Chain A
């Protein structure tokens, strides 16, 4: 596609439910990033994929969070047993993925998650 696409754009869920967030990166981009941004805060790194593998999962806040990427394209971020502190905007970005030049990352519009 022309840009990074995320769905849903908004999600309201009850505490304790599982949610799945989707990211469709720019075609040809091998690197994919998930970030979380709470109100008025900076970007918190969650996980990074190079192709289908995740070399860096160190940002996942707890074992309730998991992510996968299949076919080197679409990625899903799953949050199990959601808690109110999970409420935030979840941003996905993709890039060509090579260190050095041409590594600009482009963001989707985000999924605003509200846990009630």
Chain B
């Protein structure tokens, strides 16, 4: 089982809609979870982090963590064309290795 999995294919959403991304992780000991946004040709930039079960909101972004089910999700409300990017989920493992999922591409259609 991969350490961090993001299985969905590209996600197309109309402008103003909610984009929903999911991520699962295999290490129950993981404590810290992150969502990064990566524009084409650019480096990943941190947009959200979450450590506790439940929801964390920051502007149009909401991260949700469920440790019992070992998943993390990201909701983007009122999606804008500028949100079109690849979103990477990450978690810390074992000896502080920071592992990333393969990412989900989001395309917001004006």
Taking Cβ atoms with an 8 Å cutoff, the residues of A that contact B are 31, 33, 35, 41-43, 45, 48, 50, 55-56, 91, 93, 95, 97, 99-101, 103-110
Contact = CB atoms under 8 A, between A and B. Distances in A.
Contacts, number: 59
Interface residues of B, number: 24
B19 interface: no
Contacts of B90: 105
Contacts of B32: 99-101, 103
Contact of A100 (B31, B34, B43, B46): B31
Contact of B95 (A55, A107, A108, A109): A55
Given A42-B88, A42-B101, A107-B44, A99 B49 contact: no
Contact of B96 (A35, A55, A107, A108): A55
Given A42-B88, A100-B51, A107 B45 contact: yes
Nearest to B4: A42
